Chain A
Amino acid sequence: MLEELGTNDQGDMIINVGPQHPSTHGVLHLVITLHGETVKKVEPHLGYIHRSIEKMSESLSYRQFSYVTSRMDYLSSHINNHACALAVEKGLQLEIPGRAQYIRVILDELTRIASHQLWWGALAMDLGAFTPFFYSFREREMINEVMEETCGARLTMNYIVPGGVMFDLHPDFQKKVKIFLAEFKSKIHEYNELVTGNIIFQNRTKGVGYISKENAISYGMTGPSGRGSGFKCDVRKLHPYELYDQLKFEEITEEGGDAFARYMVRIREMEQSMNIIEQLIDNIPEGDFQAKTKAVLKLPKGDFYSRVETARGELGVYIVSEGGTTPYRIKYRSPGFSNLSALNDLAVGGKLGDLMATMGTLDLVIPDIDR
């Protein structure tokens, strides 16, 4: 009876947030127990956008399966494709040309910036400020145009293929990226003026959604969310792939462990990504953009695991191969899934408004969680 009324025996309200809710950014369904305005329990219900990508991939060839991953974390679709390509290349023991490596890394970092820009706007919207969303989209549009010109799509690229990249760079690529860098550098102060420095924003995020380093590791929180708690988990530093071991960049960590720390990690990470692109953009070597591969790829028997750092954290692609043309089993270790599992710990004890700030700074992308 009490369940029917949406309350429990302690007089708490049980509320369904989602699957259609403005701040769940998709079809996440949270059942939250509220005591007044205070959150007592958060229970995620998943599966509203589960497409069974892992099962589908079992019937797709090694060239085909990576395009589906663009639809996982659609904001860093490039990096997802990259992870798949890396896993396949690991299996084939393929050396990819230097030019392709440069292109991949530059595009990865552009994707990371674009993703963080969107996150910034969406977070501000979660907290009730609409205007930042439009400012962030203005700059993101420039990245999208670069992507469109070189990769042929704006969101779901499928540009990185096993062995290299699909096409060569567009002739205007370097020029456009430099214009973007200059433009974004002159605009990033607006981000700080409008949101970072704003006293209301700081009050809304400081001390909210706290998680300690030990818990962050235990929950497997990676990416900016984990680094906000001081967990050094940047795959680019720990297990460098492609060119990352030759690049000079800083692994951003903050000790705060709260929503504001996670926010600052992302803001500072955008600057580091720009720094990486600047190191590479003038030095792209000439040469092939794709290694010679057979028309039909066959991976040897065994299992292959590749890890990359997406905009949300560590993405793992685990391929179990039986030696055929299709994977026997594929597992995607998606960053959002592990980050979400910590949500209950982060949100309990806070107010309802804090839950939105917490979810916003975890940067959840629901198709990434559901896969």
Chain B
Amino acid sequence: MFSLEKLVSIIQAWLQSTLRDPWAYVVVCVMVGVAAIALFAILGLMLVYMERKVAAHMQIRLGPNRVGPMGLFQTTADTLKLVMKEGLTPDGADKFLFNLAPFMVMIAAMLILAPIAFAKNFQIWDISIGVLYVAAVSSVAVIGILMAGWSSNNKYSLLGAMRSAAQIVSYELSAGLSILAIVILSGSLKISDIINSQADGWWIIKGHIPVIIAFIVFIIAVTAETNRAPFDLAEAESELTAGFHTEYSGMKFALFFLAEYINIFIGCAIGATIFLGGWMPFHIGNWEAFNHVMDFIPSSLWFIGKTVFLIFLIMWFRWTFPRLRVDQLLNLEWKYLLPISMVNLLVVTLMAIMGWHL
């Protein structure tokens, strides 16, 4: 049966047999880099297409259906259009920061890719502090957004960037706390350990109500951190026209746009890994036959399926809810989500100590 794990080991064995050791590593690094960038491009295109289709169907429309079969190449055509457009830099902008900002956002998004396990034993870097790394790097993106907003020399951009900073810094807390709940339960920060601890059932199932609460808080926080509606105050097109990327055009705008979708993917991938068992198939206690059937489905499909489900959930939010106001946004975090997740963390700790979670 096909699996990414076998593919990796075949490539590795071939490389090690044909090249000497340092060169093999170099080739592996290059391959990983190319694969990551290719993944980004494809993910971006597919997610934009998916968003447009989901939005269209919720809005009783058809969505893109002219370019290619079922409009599949619509996003490719859009990208081509953006590439051909002129990249304008406004007069009075801080040119260096203005041009750097989209890459900052992009690089931050790329960095988080490292510890994500796409399939069984298919992971770029299984760092021992994986979850901590994710939490730390994901807040770097806000620097890019602040840069973009400030250097644009545009008041809408500045307002959008300030909103975004306040928002991401706040929601980082409850996202972190809800991840911490699982770290306590599984006893490890390492992504592979967290996944392996869910071999006998995903945390969302065996963690009872506290983990479900943590999951809900996490989804809300991820929606906020990725600047998605109903928390898209940084862009808020009816208030700030386009927020922090008002002045961007062409490929630089495309990078922001792409980074938004990559961030959604990464947020949802982390959510899927931590709460829904990552690539771990759906197992129920000691039903051997059932578990065996589930194992037959490739682990990469499990991971993709869970992630796409979470992405769909976030898209569903976006196309249903109105936007919050900026003070309500912060109220929600500091008055509701943070106290809830703190109390929840206490309960989870108690659960872990007493061993109730199995």
Indicate which residue in A6, A124, A352, A355 contacts B322 across the interface (CB closer than 8 Å).
A124
A22→B60 contact, CB < 8 A: no
Binds A, one of B104-112, B125-133, B216-224, B229-237: B229-237
A15→B155 contact, CB < 8 A: yes
A333 CB–B CB distance under 8 Å: no
B3 CB–A CB distance under 8 Å: no
CB distance from A258 to the nearest CB of B (A): 14
Could you say which residues of chain B place their CB within 8 Å of the CB of A128?
229-230, 232, 236, 238, 321-323
Q: Which of A128, A133, A203, A352 has the most chain B CB within a 10 Å cutoff? A: A128
Q: Which of A118-142 contact B (CB under 8 A)?
A: 124-131, 133-135, 138
Could you say which residues of chain B place their CB within 8 Å of the CB of A353?
233, 236, 239, 323, 325-326
B89 CB–A CB distance under 8 Å: no
A281 CB–B CB distance under 8 Å: no
Could you say which residues of chain A place their CB within 8 Å of the CB of B229?
128-129
Cα distance, A353 to B240, chains bound together (Å): 9
Hey, what's the 0/1 contact readout for B234-256 against A, CB within 8 Å counting as 1?
00111111000000000000000
B322→A135 contact, CB < 8 A: no
Cα distance, A351 to B323, chains bound together (Å): 14
Could you say which residues of chain A place their CB within 8 Å of the CB of B61?
134
A356→B319 contact, CB < 8 A: no
CB closest chain-B residue, reference A202:
B322
Indicate which residue in A22, A34, A194, A351 contacts B237 across the interface (CB closer than 8 Å).
A22
Hey, what's the 0/1 contact readout for B61-98 against A, CB within 8 Å counting as 1?
10000000000000000000000000000000000000
Could you say which residues of chain B place their CB within 8 Å of the CB of A13?
155, 159
A131→B325 contact, CB < 8 A: no
Cα distance, A303 to B158, chains bound together (Å): 54
Hey, what's the 0/1 contact readout for A195-206 against B, CB within 8 Å counting as 1?
100101101100
A200→B324 contact, CB < 8 A: yes
A195→B322 contact, CB < 8 A: yes
A23 CB–B CB distance under 8 Å: yes
A351→B326 contact, CB < 8 A: yes
B320 CB–A CB distance under 8 Å: yes
Indicate which residue in B58, B240, B328 contacts A131 across the interface (CB closer than 8 Å).
B58
A21 CB–B CB distance under 8 Å: yes
Could you say which residues of chain A place their CB within 8 Å of the CB of B241?
21-22
Q: Which of A22-40 contact B (CB under 8 A)?
A: 22-23, 34, 37
A129→B321 contact, CB < 8 A: yes
CB distance from B52 to the nearest CB of A (A): 12
CB closest chain-B residue, reference A124:
B322
Hey, what's the 0/1 contact readout for A38-73 against B, CB within 8 Å counting as 1?
000000000000000000000000000000000000
B16 CB–A CB distance under 8 Å: no
**Count of A interface residues, CB-CB < 8 Å:** 33
A368 CB–B CB distance under 8 Å: no
A127→B238 contact, CB < 8 A: yes
A354 CB–B CB distance under 8 Å: yes
Question: SS class of chain A's interface: helix, strand, loop or mixed?
Answer: helix
Cα distance, A182 to B321, chains bound together (Å): 27
Indicate which residue in A21, A23, A130 contacts B59 across the interface (CB closer than 8 Å).
A130
CB closest chain-A residue, reference B56:
A134
B327 CB–A CB distance under 8 Å: yes
Cα distance, A17 to B179, chains bound together (Å): 41
A127→B58 contact, CB < 8 A: no
Cα distance, A174 to B241, chains bound together (Å): 44
CB distance from A122 to the nearest CB of B (A): 10
Q: Which of B159, B233, B321 has the most chain A CB within a 10 Å cutoff? A: B321
B323→A127 contact, CB < 8 A: yes
Known: A15-B156, A128-B229, A131-B319. A204 touches B325 (CB 8 A): yes
CB distance from B57 to the nearest CB of A (A): 11
CB distance from B234 to the nearest CB of A (A): 12
Q: Which of B256-272 contact A (CB under 8 A)?
A: none
B352 CB–A CB distance under 8 Å: no
Indicate which residue in A126, A134, A198 contacts B60 across the interface (CB closer than 8 Å).
A134
Could you say which residues of chain B place their CB within 8 Å of the CB of A195?
322
Indicate which residue in A6, A125, A131 contacts B155 across the interface (CB closer than 8 Å).
A6
Indicate which residue in B59, B155, B321, B328 contacts A198 across the interface (CB closer than 8 Å).
B321
Could you say which residues of chain B place their CB within 8 Å of the CB of A37?
159, 326-327
B55 CB–A CB distance under 8 Å: yes
A352→B59 contact, CB < 8 A: no
B321→A134 contact, CB < 8 A: no
Cα distance, A129 to B317, chains bound together (Å): 10
Could you say which residues of chain B place their CB within 8 Å of the CB of A351?
325-327
Q: Which of A185-234 contact B (CB under 8 A)?
A: 194-195, 198, 200-201, 203-204
CB distance from A138 to the nearest CB of B (A): 6
Q: Which of B92-149 contact A (CB under 8 A)?
A: none
Known: A22-B241, A23-B238, A352-B239. A127 touches B155 (CB 8 A): no
B319→A130 contact, CB < 8 A: yes
B239→A23 contact, CB < 8 A: yes
Could you say which residues of chain A place their CB within 8 Å of the CB of B323?
127-129, 200, 204, 353
A131→B59 contact, CB < 8 A: yes
B238→A126 contact, CB < 8 A: yes
CB closest chain-A residue, reference B231:
A128
Indicate which residue in B60, B156, B239, B324 contacts A356 across the interface (CB closer than 8 Å).
B239
Known: A6-B155, A134-B59, A352-B239. A129 touches B326 (CB 8 A): no
Q: Which of A34, A125, A127, A133 has the most chain B CB within a 10 Å cutoff? A: A127
Could you say which residues of chain B place their CB within 8 Å of the CB of A200?
230, 321-324, 328
Q: Which of B153-174 contact A (CB under 8 A)?
A: 155-156, 159
- 25 pairs, CB–CB < 8 Å, chain A vs chain B: A6-B155, A13-B155, A23-B238, A34-B159, A37-B159, A128-B232, A128-B236, A129-B320, A130-B55, A131-B55, A131-B59, A135-B60, A195-B322, A198-B321, A198-B322, A200-B230, A200-B321, A203-B328, A204-B328, A351-B326, A351-B327, A352-B326, A353-B233, A353-B236, A355-B239
* Closest 4 pairs between A and B when the two form their complex, measured CB to CB: A128-B323, A127-B322, A23-B238, A134-B59
**B-contacting residues of A (Cβ < 8 Å)?**
6, 13, 15, 21-23, 34, 37, 124-131, 133-135, 138, 194-195, 198, 200-201, 203-204, 351-356
Q: Known pairs A134-B59, A203-B324, A204-B325. 7 more at Cβ < 8 A?
A: A22-B241, A23-B238, A127-B322, A128-B236, A131-B59, A134-B60, A198-B321
